[in-house]
Amino acid sequence: MASVRRKVRGARVSIWLTGRAKVRRRGYPPVAGEAGLDLGKIVAATVRLLDAEGLGRLSMRRLAAELGVTAMSVYWYVDTKDELLELALDRAYAEMDLPAEDGGDWAAQLRQLAHEHRRILVAHPWVSRLAGEYLNVGPHAMACVAAAQRAMRRAGLPEECLTGGLSLLFPFSYGFGGVGGRLAELGEDYGAFVRALREQPECVRPPAARSPVPDHPAPEAPEAPEAPDLPVLPGHEQRDRDFAFALECVLAGMAAMRDRVAEQVRPTITPA
């Protein structure tokens, strides 16, 4: 029991659930020459450092040097590095261009959200890692969720299906954007991946059939046609095209499930 209590006491609690993100910490005042420092400047500098140097090199001392202040001055605004990373994560989501709230085509709005989500994940490769480690419930992230819910309601999805729709849309763009951001961070070419994939024999013809009965040969499979010699676009263009196609499949699947659910709940009228 004691070990369980220690684990609970040591658990990380989101800054968004404690209210500390809105209240300046009380304690010692900033030293002379640091009066112009504020939380917004600290978070902006954190984002710049994460973009330039990555998560592994970020420290409170490094951040303070970037700001030209002492590390203790940074702690006047945040208690821990975890809090700072949560704030930086939500600041990245503030860059998303959200669809207007006053109606509009639901598919176009979800399409915009998915593209914007992917864009910030590629622009900030560290976002995908932080989103997997922290409770991503900051105000800007929640504004993205609210925009998606509004579009899904206009699409006709019932309330009980909204969380399922969110679980389809954002994890899809998260996975695609997270991989794209990591490839960009490593300097890898997505086009090289596509070329290597097409060079695999399984991409040209199916593997040889195996007989389910021992000592009996399998029937010969029909000759597969040669794969067409498709051009491979430059890395970013290939990624854009693949993402756009996959996203249309997501939206088509969402519409199909909406229609299926509507058919299931439609009342049956029995002739008199």
Mean pLDDT value of segment 205-220:
54
Domains of the chain: 14-93 (1.10.10.60), 106-203+233-264 (1.10.357.10)
Single-letter amino acid, residue 129: R
Mean pLDDT value of segment 245-269:
86
What Cα–Cα distance (Å) separates residue 1 from each residue in 7, 10, 13, 186? Answer: 10, 14, 21, 45
Q: Say yes or no to pLDDT of 218 above 60.
A: no
Q: How far apart are the first and last CA of the chain?
A: 65
Tell me what the pLDDT averaged over the chain comes to: 81
Q: What is the pLDDT of residues 40-89, one digit of tens each?
A: 999 999 999 999 999 999 999 999 999 999 999 999 999 999 999 999 99
Beta carbons of 121 and 177 less than 8 angstroms apart: yes
Q: What percent of the chain has pLDDT over 90?
A: 56
Q: Say yes or no to pLDDT of 151 above 70.
A: yes
Single-letter amino acid, residue 67: L
Inter-axis angle of helices 60-67 and 39-53, nearest 10: 110
Which pairs from 122-125 meet CB under 8 Å and 24+ separation? 122/177, 122/180, 122/181, 122/184, 123/51, 123/95, 123/181, 124/47, 124/50, 124/51, 124/92, 124/181, 125/54, 125/178, 125/181, 125/182, 125/184, 125/185
| Whole-number Å distance between alpha carbons of 86 and 197 | 37
Length of the chain as a residue count: 272
Q: Say yes or no to pLDDT of 30 above 70.
A: no
Token match 């991503």: residue? 136
Beta carbons of 55 and 129 less than 8 angstroms apart: yes
**What pLDDT sits at residue 236?**
74
> What is the separation of C-alpha 17 from the centre of its chain, rounded to a whole number of angstroms?
21
> What 8-state DSSP symbol labels residue 80?
S
Q: What is the pLDDT of residues 86-143, one digit of tens each?
A: 999 999 999 999 999 887 899 999 999 999 999 999 999 999 999 989 999 999 999 9
Q: Say yes or no to pLDDT of 31 above 60.
A: no
**What pLDDT sits at residue 19?**
73
List all residues 6 or more positions away from 181 whose beta carbon is below 8 Å from its beta carbon.
121, 122, 123, 124, 125, 127, 128
Q: What is the pLDDT of residues 195-206, one digit of tens each?
A: 666 666 555 444
183 vs 192, higher pLDDT: 183
| Whole-number Å distance between alpha carbons of 91 and 20 | 16
Most confident of 25-34, 171-180, 195-204: 171-180
Mean pLDDT value of segment 14-34:
63
Assign 2 a pLDDT band (cuts: 50, 70, 90): very low
**What pLDDT sits at residue 18?**
84
Q: Say yes or no to pLDDT of 12 above 90.
A: no
Q: Say yes or no to pLDDT of 168 above 80.
A: yes
